[in-house]
Chain A
Amino acid sequence: MTQLALVIDLNVCVGCHACVTSCKEWNTSGSAGSLSDDNPYGKDPTGTFFNRVQTYEAGEFPNTETIHFPKSCLHCEDPPCVPVCPTGASYKREEDGIVLVDYDKCIGCRYCSWACPYGAREIDEHQKVMKKCTLCVDRIYDETLPEAERKPACVMSCPTSARLFGDVHDPQSAVSIAIREEGGYALMPEWGTKPSNHYLPRRKTRLHIHEDELVRADNPLKKEQRGHAAPVDDTTLDDSTSW
């Protein structure tokens, strides 16, 4: 069975919020919209967002680092928001594993919001139904778009290519390879919800250079040295290499 999902590389995410704004732009004008906002520039702005970036510091000062953590619906394989929905408005698609809300069946009881351990559910305060990330379902199957653009808006917009999109059940897909080879992990797997979205951890790239490698044992300038030492008549590297 196909399970579409996002894989987000925390190593290269810089927390720029491009995914947040592009998601909002696409979905507010698409079939999932509108995503209403109130007081967007006021003191207490409220609004509906499918994708949010959280930031936290790991470690103890001074050995700390800031981690930006983009979070949207994780399209769990066992989503706790689905069984709690009294009308069945919240459902998981068989064909691609996307968790969606049928806006026409949602009565706005907000119980799914209680059930989601990841805080991914959003009440649209004007349409008064529950909304959430659709993985841009109205875009990824749109054959009027060039194939390269049939990806979620957040994936398209990420300037550092921190977001990958694909089928995590296909072992040869780019997302599965990334999860397998880069140590991809799920958020709070202990809930047993089996989130489909995965995160690639922060990785330290260290170059190990021995001190010897920084000191040139055989100085090519030796031959031209004047004053201090007698001219060198031996063969130097310069005589035997092209540079």
Chain B
Amino acid sequence: MKKATFMEIEGRSAGYLALLGFLGIFILAALGATYYMEHNGHYVTGMSNQIVWGMPHVFAVFLIVAASGALNIASISSVFHKTAYKPLAPLSGLLALALLIGGLMILVLDLGRPDRLIVAMTQYNFKSIFAWNMILYNGFFVIVGIYIWTMMQRSMNQYSKYAGFAAFIWRLALTTGTGSIFGFLVARQAYDAAIMAPMFVVMSFAFGMAFFILVLLASYNWTERPLGDAIFNRLKNLLGIFVAGTLYFVIAYHLTNLYAAEHAGVESFILMDGGIYTQMFWIGQILIGSLIPLALVFHPGWSKSRSLVGLASAMVIIGGLATMYVVIIGGQAYPLVMFPGQEVSSSFFDGVVNSYTPSLPEVVLGLGGLATALIVVALAIKILHFLPVSLADEVVDPHANAK
């Protein structure tokens, strides 16, 4: 295998500037939306006392989960010693940090009191999984930052193996923490399940890989650098395996719930008669997010088309957002069971399926976080040498010439 050469992108083309401008508009709009929601109060959003986490959390949790998954490639290279992935490891680390920045930006701006972030950073209640997550997020920045440094500075290369291992352990802990935010919730019918943590870990693999493939395709196509089939096919197959893994966990989760009579109500709500949540589950999560991408990446003919693999990645991302919508909002929409077997009514919306209509500022804030993640990547690959000059087969695959 040849030593990979890394180089910054030129970043002066009209297309590049247009991309920055396009993403910038979303970020500005998100800041405007935040100002609007902060100034008027949360009642201008679709959120209520029943649905306390809305669209911003759907985007935020999705991006945070994807961030951990984006580190896949680096882990495969450093922890599992697959040298073919080594040239992609710095980009993998960068994308992981960028997605986490985007996700946390949404999360913080959606807090009731973002001005009190310093309180959250200084006063920890160590019994709270939420407090642990703050430590895990901050630690992720530090560890992945060091990891990227060890990969990119030649004199530090010898330590990258150890840093990569630490990052691998940390990202598993991070996604376990994110999944446990829901897994630890005994109060709600849809959660209180240990499987939430590993399910989120596998989801992170799929979502992160989908982002990675799209960013790789875009950056290599737009800069006209060669991207060989050897590495691309590996990424594509990994995406398929991770999507299948996610589907397996989703099936195991729902089958277990269906078996327990206690959960029959919430299961029939999500799977059969939950209206938008049922549609989001079957059409968004299962069809768009799982089955069609699986067909696209494993079909012998279709999988040869990079556009279709790119489409599959985009569908995994859309399906991932639908998954989060079902998990986060669907779980809150289903009423608390306080009077089992009784039909409850009140002048305060108790006992009924809680309604939620995402408001425009919430969606704009979510998209702004996504745009922030992408603009961080776009700027970083211009400033530092994250991208290999070539990922052609002979560079990546040590045995390409022998075949």
Interface residues, chain A, with chain B CB atoms under 8 Å away: 17, 36, 38-39, 46, 48-49, 52-58, 69, 71, 80, 83-88, 105-111, 113-119, 121-123, 125-130, 187-188, 191
Q: Nearest CB to that of B115 among chain A residues?
A: A107
Q: Can you name 19 extra interface pairs (CB under 8 A) apart from A114-B185, A114-B187, A129-B112? A: A17-B347, A46-B43, A54-B339, A83-B125, A84-B128, A86-B131, A86-B134, A87-B123, A87-B131, A88-B124, A107-B113, A107-B120, A113-B52, A118-B336, A123-B49, A125-B41, A125-B42, A128-B113, A187-B338
Which residue of chain B has its CB nearest to the CB of A115? B187
B130 to chain A, nearest CB (A): 4
Given contacts A46-B43, A55-B345, A85-B125, contact A105 B338 (CB under 8 A): no
Task: State in angstroms the CA–CA spacing of A114 and B345 once bound together.
Answer: 21
What is the chain A residue whose CB lies nearest that of B112? A108
What is the CA–CA distance of A34 and B95 in the complex, to the nearest angstrom? 44
Indicate whether B14 reaches chain A with its CB closer than 8 angstroms: no
Contact A188 B188 (CB under 8 A): no
A69 and B337 CA atoms in complex are apart in Å by: 14
Given contacts A115-B187, A117-B186, contact A129 B347 (CB under 8 A): no
Q: Is the CB of B343 within 8 A of A57?
A: yes
Mark B residues whose CB is within 8 Å of A.
Answer: 38, 41-43, 48-50, 52-53, 111-114, 116-117, 119-120, 123-125, 127-131, 134, 181, 184-188, 332, 336-339, 342-348, 350-351
Main secondary structure of the interface of A (DSSP, over half): loop
Residues of chain B lying within 8 A (CB to CB) of residue A85: 125, 128, 130
Q: A83-B127, A116-B187, A128-B41 are in contact. Are A54 and B111 (CB under 8 A)?
A: no
Which 10 A-B pairs give the minimum distances between C-beta atoms? A108-B112, A128-B112, A117-B187, A83-B127, A86-B130, A86-B131, A88-B125, A110-B52, A54-B346, A125-B43
- In the complex the two chains form, is B342's CB within 8 Å of A56's CB? yes
Give the total number of A-B pairs whose CB atoms are below 8 A apart: 147
Query: A residues within 8 A CB of B128?
Result: 83-86, 111
Residue on B with the closest CB to A37? B43
- Given contact pairs A56-B344, A84-B128, A105 touches B339 in the complex (Cβ within 8 A): no
Contacting pair B49 A113 (CB below 8 A)? yes
Residue of A nearest to B184 (CB): A84
**Residues of A contacting B186 in the complex (Cβ-Cβ under 8 angstroms):** 80, 115, 117, 191
Residue of B nearest to A117 (CB): B187
Task: State A156–B129 Cα separation when bound (angstroms).
Answer: 39
Given the known inter-chain contacts A46-B48, A88-B123, please indicate yes or no for A119 contacting B336, CB distance below 8 A: yes
Q: When the two chains form their complex, are residues A53 and B347 in contact, meaning their CB atoms are under 8 A apart?
A: yes
- B344 lies within 8 A of A55 (CB): yes
Closest chain A residue, CB of each to CB of B346: A54
Chain B hits for A106, CB < 8 A: 112-113, 116
With contact pairs A84-B130, A118-B338, A119-B336 given, residues A53 and B346 touching in the complex (Cβ less than 8 Å): yes
Q: Do B113 and A54 have beta carbons less than 8 Å apart?
A: no
Known: A111-B181, A128-B42, A128-B113. A54 touches B119 (CB 8 A): no
* Closest beta carbon of chain A to B113's beta carbon, Å: 5
Question: A127 CA to B111 CA in the complex, in Å?
Answer: 12
Point out the residues of chain A lying under 8 angstroms from B345, CB to CB. Answer: 54-56
- Taking the closest CB of chain B, its distance from the CB of A94, in whole angstroms, is 16
State the CA gap A115–B338 with chains docked (Å).
Answer: 14
User: Which residues of A are found within 8 Å of B342, using beta-carbon distances?
Assistant: 56-58
Least Cβ–Cβ distance between B129 and chain A, in angstroms: 7
How distant is the Cα of A48 from the Cα of B41 in the complex, in angstroms?
Answer: 13
Closest A residue to B127 by beta carbon equals A83
Query: How far is it, in angstroms, between the C-alpha of A83 and the C-alpha of B332 when the chains are bound?
Result: 20
Q: Nearest Cβ distance between residue B6 and chain A, in whole angstroms?
A: 39
| Residue contact A55 to B346, C-beta cutoff 8 Å | yes
The answer on a CB contact under 8 Å between B336 and A117 is: yes
Q: How far is the CB of B159 from chain A (nearest CB, A)?
A: 33
Q: How far is the CB of A207 from chain B (nearest CB, A)?
A: 29
Could you list some 13 contacts between A and B, CB below 8 A? A48-B49, A52-B350, A56-B339, A57-B343, A84-B130, A85-B130, A86-B120, A114-B188, A119-B49, A127-B112, A128-B42, A128-B112, A188-B337
A128 to B128, CA, bound (A): 20
- B331, chain A: closest CB distance, angstroms: 9
Q: Is the CB of B350 within 8 A of A54?
A: yes
Contact A84 B129, CB 8 Å, known A53-B346, A110-B53: yes
Query: Is the CB–CB distance between B41 and A36 below 8 Å?
Result: yes
**Is B111 a contact of A108 with CB atoms below 8 Å?**
yes
Q: Indicate which residue in B53, B113, B123, B185 contacts A129 across the interface (CB closer than 8 Å).
A: B113
In contact, A105 and B187 (Cβ under 8 angstroms): no
CA of A128 to CA of B116 in the docked complex: distance in angstroms? 11
Cβ–Cβ < 8 Å partners of B111 in chain A: 107-109, 128
Neighbouring A residues of B53 by C-beta, 8 Å: 110, 114
